[in-house]
Amino acid sequence: MSTKRGWSYAVSVGTCLAVAALATAESVVVCCKYLYTWPSDPALQGPEGPCSGTVAYVCEDGSTSAGYTDPLRLFHGQTLRYARCYLYNLGAGQSFVRTSCEAPPAGALLVGSLGNGMCCYIVGPTKPVPMLSLRTFQLADCAGACNDPSSQD
């Protein structure tokens, strides 16, 4: 009887240890860093939405350490991550330009992606200097959301 119990304990402990080890495995980094969101607060966007007028607020989104094929991601628990946000207030000589991400205007500064292959830029003789803020987000499954392979971590 004690032999059977010992055998059962050994198998149970061994199995638990193996599962725990797999559960602590690092996720595969598959998500891009430069996904963008544009909070819809009217005080933080121009009169025609993101990339219009003289003000724009854009935040980085997504995760840098979550694998969308990771079957054990639930065991990793939810971890708060910080995403950076940028608030642009344009000077008199600066303008927002919405154009294809494939064809940025000469000398323009990229503000962020608007989706559908369109990007927001700032043009002007002087460099815009955004103010910075932080927002938190949970690790997210961002499968298929990468739009710039070169920006993967």
Partner 1 sequence: MSRSIHCAVAVGAALCSSREAMAQTDSLNVFLDRYVPRQGVVEATYLAKPGFAGEMQFGFDAATGAWYEVSHLGATLRRANGEILEGDPYPGMLKPSKRIKAFSADIAVMEWCPPCFLRLVALGNVPVDNVEALPEGGYRFRIRSDQALPDVPALVNEVDASGVLRRVARDDPADPREANVVYSEKSPAGFLLRAETAGRNLATASVHEGGVRDFESVARVESLAAQSRVNTARTLAAMSGGSLVGTNPADGAVEGTPSVPAASPPLSGYRWPLVVLGVVLIAAAVVYRVRGRGQL
Q: Contact positions toward partner 1, by CB under 8 A?
A: 3, 6-7, 10-11, 13-22, 24-27, 34, 54-55, 65-66, 76-77, 79, 81-82, 84, 86-89, 91-93, 95, 105-107, 123-134, 139
Distance, CA of 46 to CA of 43 (rounded, Å): 8
Minimum CB separation from partner 1 for residue 116, in Å?
Answer: 22
* Torsion, CA 73, CA 79, CA 68, CA 63, rounded to 10: -170
Backbone angles phi, psi at 126, to 5 degrees: -115, 150
Q: Which residue number, 114 or 122, has a Cβ lying nearer to partner 1?
A: 122
Task: Supply 43's token pair.
Answer: 């005080």
Whether 95 and 124 have beta carbons less than 8 Å apart is answered as yes
